[in-house]
Amino acid sequence: MPQNQSALKPTLRRPYDQSEGYYVTHPNGQVSHYYLDSFVDPWLPWEEKLVIMLNHGCARTAAMWYSWVPRLARRFVVIRRDARGGYRWDLDTMLYEIVDMLDQLNIKKVIFLGEATSGEVGHAFAAKYPERTIALVTCSTPTLLPPAAVDMFAVGESSWPEAVMKHGVRGWNERLAKTPGTLPKDSAYLEWLLDEAAKTEKEGLAGYVIFLTYLTSRPFLKDIKKPYLILAPTNSVAVPLSESRWISEQVPGSKMVEIEAPGHEIFSEATGKCIDAVLEFLDEIHV
């Protein structure tokens, strides 16, 4: 190839793990980051496309949903939203920023999928904003963190936030990974997860875990009237099956699917099973 034509060679982009994504700035000054992927037929009007919003759990990032995108994005507009990184950690602010993002993107309703503690936010979202909710899916989600779990997350320090501040986000995750039933054991994936999680500032995560220590979504369960799927891990040290079953009992008409996996991280260790369950559920409710 002539030298002057080399610049014409296409550059291969890897949008699921390399693109910068997009940002919205909220009226309160907070900036939210998200990825948007869609292979829905492009001629369909935007308002006719169904949107599924994937929300990650504690010490995770939106990039960790990469393996969900290929199957979901042919049918839905997939938004992978990063949790806030600032210090105003309260439920009303978090819900406000989610709704404001939807408003700015001209999205009337979403299928809200929350992993782990983001599922608790999903409980509140579905209860308080039913007009913005098509359906709710939670994955490895508790309704509160019992003292034993909070102590476990302290990884030997006097408190959970102190552990994060002392060891940093990566160091805290490394110590947590030594507890069976928490992080995945595949060494290559775990190394990538640790690198990805370390992009979060320790001060932001420490503020978040203080919020999680006091958060409970139990008061919202009685007000969830939208279709609700619970993806329940069978071997999570943080969310035992009894917790998922109890949640299902509190929300009449909800559906619970047990997901067999080595530990808590069923969204990554049992991705195919989770997506199968989600798509079957959405077919059942004619979405």
pLDDT digits over 175-189, tens only? 999 988 888 878 899
The stretch 251-275 carries a mean pLDDT of 97
Helix (H, G, I), strand (E, B) or coil at 252: coil
Phi, psi of 210 (to 5 degrees): -60, -45
Is residue 14 pLDDT above 50, yes or no? no
Q: Is the pLDDT of residue 272 over 50?
A: yes
pLDDT confidence bin for 223, thresholds 50/70/90: very high
Element (H, E) at 92: helix 91-104
Average predicted confidence (pLDDT) for the chain: 91
pLDDT higher than threshold 90 for residue 20: no
For 156, which DSSP code? T
In one-letter notation, the amino acid at residue 57 is G
- pLDDT reported for residue 4: 43
Q: 100-139 pLDDT, tens per residue?
A: 999 999 999 999 999 999 999 999 999 999 999 999 999 9
**pLDDT 10s digits, 62-86:** 999 999 999 999 999 999 999 986 6
Q: Which of 9-23, 53-67, 265-279 has the lowest mean pLDDT?
A: 9-23
Q: What number is the average pLDDT over the span 204-211?
A: 92
Percent of the chain surpassing pLDDT 90: 82
Task: Please tell me which residue, 15 or 231, carries the higher pLDDT value.
Answer: 231
Structure tokens at 199: 């992009």
The answer to whether 211 and 109 are in contact (CB under 8 A) is no
Q: Which of 179, 169, 178 is nearest to 148 (CA)?
A: 179
Domains in the chain, please, with CATH? 21-143+216-284 (3.40.50.1820)
Q: Give the pLDDT score at 185.
A: 78
- Which residue, 19, 29, 22, is CA-closest to 105? 22
